Structure 1
Amino acid sequence: MIAYVTVGADDMALAKRFYSAFLPALNYGLTEGPEGLSYALPVGPGQSPSLPDFYVKPTFDGHPASAGNGAMIAFEGRNQSQVRDLHAAALAAGGVDEGRPGFRASYGAHFFVGYLRDPQGNKIALFSNDPDEPGREG
């Protein structure tokens, strides 16, 4: 199981604006500190943490942050409508479009996904895979 994912950022205010545009809608809460941004799912009394946590931090070595070539982080939305809404909110908060929300021929009939880049260049996917929603034809 993946426990946490960390991306580097050079501008924490810009990163916060971007990630706070969609992660709270996916139930992630934000804790902010000198070490960066920590997004985590809620934990009820007596429950174990729901993983993974998501961190946005300055680089440890002090060099500029960079996006991984071939790396992507995917967040699951409740449905296709939420994926559309969160993709639009992330773009309005400084993201760059890498693929409008929709179906892709190479994935399952109900896999609905939109791609974007955060302000640092990290690739993000927002997806839904609900078999009760309309699917791709063909």
Structure 2
Amino acid sequence: MISYVTVGADDMARAKRFYTAFLPALGYGLEEGPEGLSFALPVAEGARPVYPDFYVKPPFDGQGASVGNGAMVAFEASRQSEVHALHAAAVAAGGTDEGPPGFRASYGAHFYVGYLRDPQGNKVALFSSDPSEPGRDD
């Protein structure tokens, strides 16, 4: 099980604007501290945490943040319309479109996905794969 994912950022204000454009809509809460941004799903009293958490932080070594070539973080939305709305909100909040929401021929018939780059250049996917919604071949 993946417990958390961290991406680097040099400008926390820009990163906050981008990630708060869609992560709260997916249920993530935000805690800010001097070490950066921490997004986590809510945990009921006495329950185990729901993973993974997502962190946006300046690199610990003090060097500039850089993106991973081939690295991507994917967040699941509940519906195709949510993917579309959150992708648009993230682009409006400083992200870059890396592939508009839609079906891709090489993925499953119900895999609906949009791709983005955050202001630092980290790649992010927003997807839904609800089999009760229309699929690529419907």
TM-score range, shorter chain: over 0.9
Secondary structure, aligned partner of 2:56: strand
Match of residue 110 from structure 2? 110
SS of corresponding position for 1:84: helix
Partner SS state of residue 90, structure 1: helix
Q: Give 3-state SS (helix, strand or coil) of 1:124's partner.
A: strand
- Aligned runs of 1:28-39 on 2, under 5 Å? 28-39=28-39
Measure, in 2, the Cα distance between the counterparts of 1:137 and 1:75.
24
Query: Which position in structure 1 is the counterpart of 2:16?
Result: 16
Give, in whole Å, the separation in 2 of the partners of 1:91 and 1:66: 20
> What is residue 126 of structure 2 aligned with on the other side?
126
2:79 alignment partner AA: N
CA–CA distance in structure 2, aligned partners of residues 94 and 75 of structure 1: 18
- Secondary structure of 2:5's match? strand
Aligned identity (percent) is: 77
Give 1:1-138 correspondences, 5 Å limit. Answer: 1-137=1-137
Shift of 1:92: 0.2
Name the CA distance, whole Å, in 2 between partners of 1:51 and 1:45.
16
CA shift for structure 1 position 137: 1.6
- Taking the aligned partners of 1:137 and 1:64, their CA distance within structure 2 comes to 44
Following the alignment from structure 1 to structure 2, what is the Cα–Cα distance between the partners of residues 128 and 82?
8
The one-letter code of the counterpart of 2:116 is L
Offset at 1:32? Answer: 0.2
Cα-Cα RMSD: 0.7
What is the rounded CA distance, in whole Å, between the counterparts of 2:58 and 2:110 in structure 1?
37
Alpha-carbon distance in structure 2 between the residues aligned to 1:8 and 1:123: 12
User: Which 4+ runs in 1 deviate beyond 3 A?
Assistant: none
Cα distance in 2, alignment partners of residues 129 and 137 from structure 1: 14
SS at match of 2:15: helix
| Structure 1: unaligned runs, 5 residues or longer | none
User: Aligned pairs, how many?
Assistant: 138
